[in-house]
Structure 1
Amino acid sequence: MSPDAVANAGERMTASHPVPPATRDSAAPERSGGPGEPSDRLSRVRAGAASRIGRALLATLGLKLVVATLGSAAPGWLRVIDSVGTIVIAVGLGYLLFRLLVTLQRRLLWRVRRKLVLSYLLIGFVPILLVGSFFLLSGTLLILTVSSSLVQRGLDEIVEDATTLAAMTAVDLEDTTGPRDLSAVLVRRLQGTERRYPGASIALVGRAGVPTPAPIDAMAGEWDHVPGPPSSPGWLARSGGGMLITEVAGRRSIVARGAQRVRWQDRVYVVVVDLPLSDGVVARLQEDSGTVLIDVGGSTSGGEGVVGNTLVADEARVSLSPPAGPMETAGGLPWVSFLDLLDWSTGEHRRGALSFQVRPSVLYGLLVRSGEFNLAGVLVVTLVLIAVMFLTIEAVALVMGFALAKSITGAVHELFTGTERVQRGDLSHRIKVDTQDQLGELAASFNAMTESIGGLLEQAQEKRRLEEELRIARDIQMSLLPDAPASMPGLEISAVCRPAREVGGDYYDFIRLGEGRLGVLVADVSGKGTSAAFYMAELKGLMLSLGQIYQSPKRLLMEANRILATSLDNRTFITMIYAVVDLEERTVTYVRAGHTPLIYLPANGHPPKTRVLIPDGLVVGLQLDGIEERFADLLEERTLPIAPGDLFVLFTDGITEAMNEEFDLFGEERFGRLLEEHGHLPSDALRDRILTDVEVFVGDADQHDDMTVVLLRIDDSPSGPDTDATRP
């Protein structure tokens, strides 16, 4: 628990807010029925009726009552309003149902026990129901698909028998020599087929639908399902076949037709075989597929009026009367299987539909039968035993789940009571630990938490004090910085200091040294917090005073070091860089005391190239023996001629040591490339560009140090002494 959270909890505990009796005495806000409850319900009903949606529903119901009273005498506009009212009632009832569900959820699921029971049902029962439904649906679809496939295969076998019979008849006819032999072949072939396909018919027809030169009896069979043998179609190349719907005298039949071309006595004829789906064929097909065939229908247009082609008009249906017996339609699953119906005149196949019912038990027995061994019965008994075992396990799991839910909710109730006591400020309350499980550990943790809350509250108070101290330090730091960059003709200045989350010690300032001369200081005090801010204040006053006395930057830092070494504690030091810009002499003189380097971008560079200026120098304020002389010996002062357009950049390590989430540093090299690419921008725009690039590089990482940057750009001004002197 964080100190902030504990502080907020402490504020809530110290606040006076009484706890309702229902909440103090039980873990649920539900109240038992009492004398005033009916009146409360009546009040809620009245409030609901007085609401906007209640008034809208009542008005709509009244309107519908008026329309119902008028009946057919109601005007048209009133009926339109009545239709709109129906939509309003539907929307209103949906809204009321939603509100009812929300209310029920609040009242019924407030107790953790009920939530656990509901979650157990959702986790244990609902998936079982869904899985069972899935397997039931999948099994049904599998049964229907298998039965449809068996029916389709049976129909295809009948068509194949017709085309095979036609082909075998054609082979036999090729060996005949006279018309008498033709009839004998047809009759012989028919005799071997009628036992399997009652009503089968065979004929030999000519190409153009004209009678053959053989005797008129060159056909065999009844041909009572069509007016006569069909003509030879022009689309038949060699052989073909399919299912057809025929009609004679209002009686429709479904027929499997096969055809085979044959050459006899130098003339081309067609052997046509029709196998009607008689009751016996239908019964055999039903027995082999475990189904009850009902009817066949489909679109079969395009053949009426053609001799021999008796296909009926669109949407014809043929009833397939199932025989009486154990395969009646009661209890069957209805299904439809699609099949192709042949248009004999054109050879096109049109979509047809075969309606049937599936008897799952018959189909199951058909699929698993294996001689005398009753495999189906064994499988059924096995499935029943598995189901009983599964239900037993589920019942035991349900009882155990309710028992676990009760134990969990009891522990939760104890925790709830304990939190209520702590909320009222009673930190002496302890929860009794009865079990050695996670709930027992939770109770022990609660007891340990209440013991440590007092200490955490003290820590929170200390944290608030430190945050207030940091706020004061930040205010001091920002007050020490210049309100705006110094303004001087011939010099464009831009500066910014962006403090980190924790107050650091970055400081910059401008010191006016007379006509055409400006001192620029950037410093970084080690440490953070109020001590760094106070040392900054001391440094500011010291530098402003010494800046008016010492014209030499080196002399100024030597004196500042001598004074600060006696006032800073032994853990604090200051890094700084101090530069004096002289627009009359056209020079910049600078010194560096352990600070980040000065970056110089000449105006005459093509391409622009930065120079990193790092004169020697120790940090300010060290308290060591002989450090004053050592400081003076190491401190190096340099002077650089300047020209219009030259750019000088003074900064703190918060810029170059900015770190991203991968702990990569922004670095001086990247900073130099940034200045080379964008050094032509105005100073303010360049300053914003520097901060933006650093922020993009850092990303979501925290800012660990202040970021300070001062930009000095030399503008055009009257020339001083030789500005073309050689630059070091």
Structure 2
Amino acid sequence: MGQVRNFEARVFRALHREPPQSKVHRLAFWLLIIYLALIPERLLPGNAGAFFQWVSFFILLLLLAFCIPLVWRWIFGRFLWKLRNRLIVNYLLMGLTPVVLFVLLALIALYGFSGQFAIFAAASAIDAQMERYGAENRAFCVHVAHFLATHPGSKTISPPPELESTAPGKGDANLRLAAFQDGKAIPIVPAELQADIPEVPSWAQNHFRSAVLDNGRLYLRAINMQTVDGHTTTVITSALVDKAGLDEAAHGIGRIEVLPNLPMSEETSAGGEQARVVLSKPSPPGIKAKINQHELTREEIRASSITGGTLPSAQSFYDIPITFYAPLGTTDWATGKTHNTPTIVTSRPSLLYQRLFITSLQIATVVQDILIAIAAFFAVLELIAFIMAVRLNRTITRSVNDLYDATIEIDQGNLVHRIKVTRNDQLAALSRSFNRMSYSLERLLAEQREKERLQGELAIAQEVQANLFPQGAISLPMLELHGACYPARTVSGDYYDFLTFDDSSLGLALGDISGKGISAALLMATLHSAVRAYRYAGEEMVSVGNQFSAMAAEKIGAINGSNGNSNGSDPFLKPARILAQLNRHLYRSTQPEKYATLFLAHYDGHTSQLTYSCGGQLPPLILRCDNSVTQLGCGGTVVGLLENPSYDQGVERLMSGDILIAYSDGVTEPENDFGEFGEDRLIDVVRRHRHMPLDAISEQVMQSLRNWIGGQEQPDDITLVLARQR
């Protein structure tokens, strides 16, 4: 299967086309390959070539069947891709299709009504002739009956003077008469008026009026009977239906064609069913038409037909010929059975219109003018509706095209592109919405770039701040140290530091800046720099003091109980004094609302004494080796809020195994449904794991905090400093 797909892909790539994806497309491709492969086999001689020709023909049919949906899909994919073309097709289906169907229905109905009216007019003309013949026959019958009653034994009879106009050459040349008394024929003089009717048919009735078929010829005949003195007189008027007679009947109608000499089926002849006529348009000789189950050539039909009248030329383009077929009720003269003779009437709308309004031609002209005016008015309305539809369609397609062009511009990165909106509709609102979207996208991308820039700067700030914290493991021979800071955001406002003086003493600092984020981190860096500055300033003071007054240094060392240690002049020996100096510095250099909490301590390894001062910071704790807890609460208010606050300092002695716990409010203040984490839980975690290394204890505290917070965001910076006396 993979090789087949590869072959298809190579062929279509050679033709610069995409390989087929659908099953129909692939089957059509392989049918084409097979059809082309069979071309040489079709050239083989004999039965083999004929066999392959049939196979090729069958494959060609299958190929065409598979190509139909592909061509249909291609046409719709290309032609209906644009919304304009889809709307046009939609309008055609919704608007034009019902109109076309209605117009076709109206034209078919009008054609049928016109044909029926033409048939009605032709039948009325023939009936009028029948009535005229019937009236004359009735008068002649009365004349003959009375003449025979008053002239018994008369051998001939002649028409009365008032009927002499019917004599040959004076009236209807086809009119003939026949008279009978008690079934015996009475000759008519002159002999030219004598009808070729030897006897009265047995089925004859008084007042008979109908077209009859006698010896293959069509006649209009009327029968009247009159009984006088016990003798029954029968008079028959017969008029041959020929071109002259049909010319008179077709006057003002068009052309009438009667087909009398067609063989009739027994059912039709006996039951009087309508003749079924199927005629085609003019065709070559030999083409047959089916009439009453008999197939006849057009030559046979034309030879037996009687045609009268002429079809005038059309008065306008819509004055088309209207041909309609109808049966003419005909009686078989020999049997008296009725059947239908096919009759074809061809007329024009103009002739039928004139005949319809024959009694009021002036009104017909007015009606015609009104109809023309209404048609013109409707045409103007249709033109206006078409123009409105085109304009409406153009507004829709223009809006969609503008949206499409705008999406292309946005896709290419041109975010400043805007759609020009001049209307006030839903599509215009959509365009405005797109403009707002592109503006928002442009603004969001700008904000994203700014955010990325800030993130980069924050990453640098985080890296710089990480360098401010103590690097590497710091410890004294008699004291273990560990510190950790976990920012709530990228950078932290918490601060801790270890300041080593020599192998036996160090300074310890832990602070918390008000607020979070960048401003707190900047103030933290300021505080860090200030504390470090006082630390290095202390070293410089000690160095200068050693050079100029060794005696003073020894005195200072004796006063501070450092056994003459050179660190006796270090300002960190008095954390309260440093807090006061830092307070003045922050108060004068920062905004009024900015402040910090700070814990400073100095540890002397020789005496294991911790001198400290707490400036608003949560009091650190000493977890004694006997699990008792000492709180380091000596100090004062926060740093940087007031101008000249006072700070106290305290001294605690650390015993082996004692653990100093200094922490920010981010350790004890996180909450859940059970309240704050609290100082007691912190002490409990440290107490349970006090035998572990300090970094492991710190990790246990953080794990407990994470479990306490759960899935919530870390609310504040978390800083924890641990120190354990060896």
What band does the TM-score fall into relative to the shorter chain?
0.3 to 0.5
TM superposition score normalised by structure 2: 0.44
Bigger RCO of structures 1 and 2 (CA < 8 A, at least 6 apart): 1
TM-score normalised to structure 1 length: 0.44
